[in-house]
Every structure is written in structure tokens, then in C-alpha cells.
Chains A and B, each alone.
Chain A
Amino acid sequence: MQLNLGLVFGLCLAASSALADPITVNDGTHEVTLPDTPHRIVALEFSFVDALASVDVSPVGVADDNDPARIPDEVRDIVGDWTSVGTRPQPSIEAIAALHPDLIIADLDRHSAVYDAFSAIAPTLLLPSRGEDYEGSLRSAALIGKAVDKQSQMQARLEQHRASMADYARRIPDGATMIFGAAREDSFSLHGPDSYDGSVLQSLGINVPEVRAQGGASDFVSLEQLLGLDPDYLLVGHYRRPSIIDTWNGDELWSILKASDGRVISVDPNVWARNRGIMAAEKIAADTLAVLDGSFEQID
């Protein structure tokens, strides 16, 4: 009897640990249940890696466009190495499956059409990242914190983040007009107030002009349309060199641009356009402060 009781007790203990803490997260489109704390996580957007790094969790696989350097050093220093699963728009389904993940974090915009393929491999969270604004990315980070069973650590990190952003906002003078644009060889796309970096700038007290009424988060503009907006500061992320901005530089019209007297600043497109999240926002804030007080070192 004594032995039986011990056995029953042992079994109960085993059962309770086997059934330990199923985590349920509602990502807005699906209710995802994780049987246990996930340890093999595949992240299909950079902002998800940022969120994981914020609570010291390392993903096993990342859709890093086959170029890990696109993710900021700060994030890579924390999470270490991962296996690339290909590009963000079309990650390799096989490479993801080969990692035997227990959680996949996919982008609502890029990957909702292939949700079924991912969820056949592992429980899949579909969170907004691409085209998401600042507050939205923090909400996604909070959900990721919950999914990896680090809810309280994520809350603490978010509070620390809000405090440091408030500190940046205090040091950044209000009222300057600033806008970021991504430059390729043949196109220039401005990120308006609804974009990620635009909404970060606005939270810091910077004015971000609306590119066009009922426009998207980012809009392609011509040189003339850019002149119509005429921001105090124009931040440019050059995806390719020479970019269209280098071409416009030689144009007569360019000299009319208010910012053309030294306030067209070349910034890192990885920080300003490709990455979103907690650390990404802090980097944008630090860059902005440095641009305004003149200590910013431009990117080639």
C-alpha cells in the first residue's frame, strides 16, 4: 500500500510535469496552443528575432534573406548563430521542417497564404510585422513574450524600453520635420507617418509629413513630389549604390530642396527599414538624436 501510494504520487508528478503549462496564444487570426515552452523557434521576420532577443531567447532558424548582417549587431550578439531558412518572402519550407521547430513565428502580411504549410510543421503564430507601425510591433513583441513563456520578463523589458524612449524624446527637440526614404537605382520610397520608422519618429516628437492622402505606409515619389513635401531632414537608406538619390543630386531641382544644404543624411537601411521591434526602435531613436545634434556618422 505504501508502495502503491508512492507510485501514485510519482505518477501524478510525472503526469503534471508532462502536461506542464500548455501555453495558449491568440495571434488575432488563430488560437495557438503550445504543449510546452518552445525551445526550437523559427522566426520568419527580423522583428520577431528582435523580440526574442529582448527576452534572451535564441531562434534556431531565421529567414534572414541569406545575409545575417541584415539583422543588427545588438540583436545578433544576444541570440548568436542560427540556421538560415532562406528569404523572408519565400522561406524554404523544407529547411524549416529540417530544423524540427516547436514554434514558427510568421508574418501576417507575407505568410498568411501559406499558413497551412507552416502549421503542418509546428504551431505557427501569424503576427503583423511587415507594414506594421511602432505600437503594433510592441504588441507583437508582448505576444511573443507570452508564447515563449517569458511574459513577465517581456513586460519588464517593454517598460524599460518605454522609459528609454521617453528619455530620447525629452532630449530630442520637438517640431523638426524629418522623413526616411529607401532608395534603389530607379525608385525612391518615402516612409510616411503610418510606417514603422515614421511612427517611431512621431512618438519622439518629430513631424513626419504625410506623403499622400490615403497613401500606404510607404509611397514611391518623384523628385518633384519630394520637393512638395520639403522636409527639414531627409534620411536616405541606400539599398543600392549609386541610387536614384545620387542621380537626383546632380539635378537643378535638388538644390531647391531645403535639406540639400547638408541635411540629407545617409542612414543604415537595415536599421531604418528592414528591422522593426524593441531594439530597432531604440536604434532609430539614437540615430535621430545624433542626426539632430550633429554627431551622426553617415553610412557610405
Chain B
Amino acid sequence: MIRALIVLSALTLVALCTGATTITPLQVWHLLLAHNPQDFVVWSHRFPRSLTGILIGAALGVAGALVQGVIRNPLASPDILGVTQGAGLAVAFVLLVFPGVGYLPFFSLLGGAAGAALLMAYNAGIFSPVRFALSGVAVSATFAGVTQFLLLTHPVEVNTALLSLTGSLWARGWPHLGLLLPLIPLMMVAMTLAKPLDVIALGEDTAHALGTRLRLVRWAAITMAVMLTAISVSVAGPVGFVGLVAPHLARRLVGGGHLRLLPTAGMLGAAILLAADTLGRGIAPPAEIPAGVLTAVIGAPYFLWLLFRTR
């Protein structure tokens, strides 16, 4: 856990230093303390953008750990649940069909919940990990397809929508950070689920015998994961695979105890997204490679490897 925290802090420093202009760590420190509006690059751009990335990455990591804990399936993650693409579709729909309608995270939440509900309904009763993962991929692909259709049929408004759908932190700043604030209490509340999740990990029958209210915990964890993911998607768009990879890495580092697993998954999620964004900004400035593209480049092979291993 400490190691994860160190990695995250180091990455934050790197994120603040790199970009189109490179700044030394000492200068960054002075600029952060001064936080004057004249200093655009660090205070108004890199710092809020990095904070946005940290919050979103952490939320996705925690959401992934919650889902994997409650479904007890290494393939489970918010992406696979259809939550990410469902939220993305809802965001695209609101932006394209009813532009200017209110608070985006709310609609994102509705879309994410709809995606999760669809998948849970389809998999009610019988439960096979591979069936679950494959139907999740199918649901996600369907949502992504409808989103593409909306983009194609609304060519005029497409740019605003694309900005929210690329899975990137480009041009995200202080105003977006405000939208993400609910993530912090949500992640704290998620920690209360650590104990019951540990018990579920012992097997459903044991959990039942130990007096865990299985249905309640399951609902609470999934609801929490949906909220964390959907709020993230409403700001950064669908960033894939962070919610899948971060909990796996965390389990390797700190084991399966959720009291340590949840925060570690959060920190690693933050580190992954931050690293992806920093790479995207710093690899060939002034080109901006969306963070979502880089997380997919790393995450997709990882998913395939997992799928291969579970067969």
C-alpha cells in the first residue's frame, strides 16, 4: 500500500514536470505554492488535469475492485459490466439530442445503471464467468454501436460530444474537478464494504452462514461501482481497462483483504491513468494521444490473457 502511494506521488511529480515545456521539480514546487493565475501551465493546466486523472483513475480502480469482489470473477470490471459504455451512450444522447440539459453526471449515472441492470438481468439465475464476460462485452459493443450511430446522424454537434467521449483528460481542469468531488465521499463509503466483501470471498455458503446479508452487500457494491464509474465517464469519457487491471495488480501487491485491496486498487488506478495521460502528453508534444487509447493498448492484451487463463 505504501509502495503504491509512493509510485503515485512520484508519477504526479513527473506529470507536473513533463509536457510541451519541461519544468524542474523545484520550480513546480514553487509554482504550486505561489499558485498565481499568471502561471498557466502548472497551476491552471497540469495540476487540475492531474488531479482529475487521479480522482477518475482511483474511482475506476475502486469500482473494479468492488465489482470483482462481489461477483468473484477475475474478468468482471465496470467496462465488462456495460456500465462504461452505457454511461457514454447516455452522455452522447444528452449532448446530441438535448444539448444544454443540466447536470451531465446524472444522465451518465442513468446510462451506467441501465447497462449494469441489462447485464444482471441477462445473467440472473445461471452464473458462468465466461458467459458473464462475453455477454458484458456484447452489451458494451451494442451501446458503443448506438453511440456511433448518434455521432453519425448528428454531424453538426459532434465535436462537443466527441470531446466527452474520447476517454481523455485533454482540456479537463478546475471546473471538471468540481463535478468529480462526489467521488471522494463515495470511495470512503465504499470502504465500509471491505469486511463483508472479505467474507463473501470465503464462498457464498460460508458468507451466508456467517450472517452476511449477501443480497444487500451485492447491491450496495454494484450500486457504488456504477456511481463511481458513471461520474468518471461523464467527465473523461469511457476510459477502458483501468477498472480491470488496477484491482488485479493490487491483489498481487497486497493480497485479497479488501481493507487494503480497495485503497491500493484506487491508488494503482490513479497511477495508471495518470501515467497514460502523461505519456500521451509527453511522448511527442504537441501531439496529444488520448489517455483512453493508451490504457486500451495496455489493458486489452491483459484482458485477453485473463480470458485465456480462466478457460
Q: Which residues of A contact B (CB under 8 A)?
A: 66, 84-87, 89-95, 97-98, 109-110, 112-114, 116-117, 120-121, 130-131, 216, 218, 220
**Are A131 and B171 in contact, CB atoms less than 8 angstroms apart?**
no
Provide the residues of chain B in CB contact with A97, threshold 8 Å. Answer: 20, 40-41, 45
Provide the residues of chain B in CB contact with A120, threshold 8 Å. Answer: 37, 40, 44
The A-contacting residues of B in range 116-173, CB under 8 angstroms, are 152, 155-156, 159-160, 162-163, 168, 170-171, 173
Closest-by-CB residue of A relative to B158 is A109
**Are B281 and A113 in contact, CB atoms less than 8 angstroms apart?**
no
Q: What is the 8 Å Cβ interface bit string for chain B, positions 262-305, against chain A (1 contact, 0 not)?
A: 00000000000000000001000111101000000000000000
**Are B156 and A131 in contact, CB atoms less than 8 angstroms apart?**
yes
Provide the residues of chain A in CB contact with B175, threshold 8 Å. Answer: 116
Known: A94-B20, A97-B45. A121 touches B286 (CB 8 A): no
Provide the residues of chain B in CB contact with A116, threshold 8 Å. Answer: 173, 175
5 new A-B pairs (CB below 8 Å) besides A95-B286, A130-B159, A131-B156? A86-B286, A113-B160, A114-B171, A117-B173, A216-B156
Provide the residues of chain B in CB contact with A216, threshold 8 Å. Answer: 155-156
Q: Which residues of B contact A (CB under 8 A)?
A: 19-21, 37, 40-41, 44-46, 152, 155-156, 159-160, 162-163, 168, 170-171, 173, 175, 281, 285-288, 290
Between A and B, 19 residue pairs with Cβ closer than 8 Å are: A66-B287, A86-B286, A87-B288, A89-B162, A92-B19, A92-B20, A92-B286, A92-B288, A94-B286, A97-B40, A98-B21, A98-B41, A109-B159, A113-B159, A113-B163, A117-B45, A120-B37, A120-B40, A131-B156
Provide the residues of chain A in CB contact with B171, threshold 8 Å. Answer: 90, 93, 113-114, 117
**Are A92 and B287 in contact, CB atoms less than 8 angstroms apart?**
yes
**Are B159 and A110 in contact, CB atoms less than 8 angstroms apart?**
yes
Closest-by-CB residue of A relative to B161 is A113
**Are A92 and B160 in contact, CB atoms less than 8 angstroms apart?**
no
User: Total A-B residue pairs with C-beta atoms closer than 8 Å?
Assistant: 73
Known: A97-B45, A113-B159, A131-B156. A92 touches B40 (CB 8 A): no
Provide the residues of chain A in CB contact with B37, threshold 8 Å. Answer: 120
Provide the residues of chain A in CB contact with B163, threshold 8 Å. Answer: 113-114
**Are B170 and A90 in contact, CB atoms less than 8 angstroms apart?**
yes
Provide the residues of chain A in CB contact with B40, threshold 8 Å. Answer: 97, 120-121
**Are B156 and A94 in contact, CB atoms less than 8 angstroms apart?**
no
Closest-by-CB residue of B relative to A65 is B287
**Are A94 and B285 in contact, CB atoms less than 8 angstroms apart?**
yes
- The complex places the Cα of A117 from the Cα of B46 at a distance, in Å, of 12
Q: Which of A66, A94, A112, A220 has the most CB of B within 10 A?
A: A94
**Are A84 and B286 in contact, CB atoms less than 8 angstroms apart?**
yes
- The complex places the Cα of A66 from the Cα of B288 at a distance, in Å, of 11
**Are A93 and B156 in contact, CB atoms less than 8 angstroms apart?**
no
Provide the residues of chain A in CB contact with B155, threshold 8 Å. Answer: 216, 218
**Are B281 and A94 in contact, CB atoms less than 8 angstroms apart?**
yes
User: Nearest chain B CB to A61's CB is how many angstroms away?
Assistant: 9
- The complex places the Cα of A270 from the Cα of B192 at a distance, in Å, of 59
User: Nearest chain B CB to A137's CB is how many angstroms away?
Assistant: 17
Closest-by-CB residue of A relative to B44 is A120
**Are A92 and B21 in contact, CB atoms less than 8 angstroms apart?**
no
User: Nearest chain A CB to B280's CB is how many angstroms away?
Assistant: 10
**Are A89 and B159 in contact, CB atoms less than 8 angstroms apart?**
yes
**Are A85 and B286 in contact, CB atoms less than 8 angstroms apart?**
yes
Provide the residues of chain A in CB contact with B156, threshold 8 Å. Answer: 109, 131, 216
- The complex places the Cα of A112 from the Cα of B171 at a distance, in Å, of 12
- The complex places the Cα of A89 from the Cα of B286 at a distance, in Å, of 12
- The complex places the Cα of A120 from the Cα of B173 at a distance, in Å, of 11
- The complex places the Cα of A89 from the Cα of B160 at a distance, in Å, of 10
Q: Which of B40, B45, B168, B290 has the most CB of A within 10 A?
A: B40
Provide the residues of chain A in CB contact with B290, threshold 8 Å. Answer: 90
- The complex places the Cα of A97 from the Cα of B281 at a distance, in Å, of 14
User: Nearest chain A CB to B177's CB is how many angstroms away?
Assistant: 13
Please give me the 6 A-B residue pairs with the lowest Cβ-Cβ distance, nearest first: A92-B286, A86-B286, A95-B286, A94-B20, A95-B20, A114-B171
Provide the residues of chain B in CB contact with A89, threshold 8 Å. Answer: 159, 162
| Contact pick for A87, options B19, B159, B168, B287, CB 8 Å | B287
Closest-by-CB residue of B relative to A92 is B286
**Are A112 and B160 in contact, CB atoms less than 8 angstroms apart?**
yes
User: Nearest chain A CB to B194's CB is how many angstroms away?
Assistant: 39
**Are B159 and A92 in contact, CB atoms less than 8 angstroms apart?**
no
Provide the residues of chain A in CB contact with B287, threshold 8 Å. Answer: 66, 86-87, 92
Provide the residues of chain A in CB contact with B19, threshold 8 Å. Answer: 92, 94
Provide the residues of chain A in CB contact with B44, threshold 8 Å. Answer: 120
Q: Which of A84, A86, A112, A220 has the most CB of B within 10 A?
A: A86
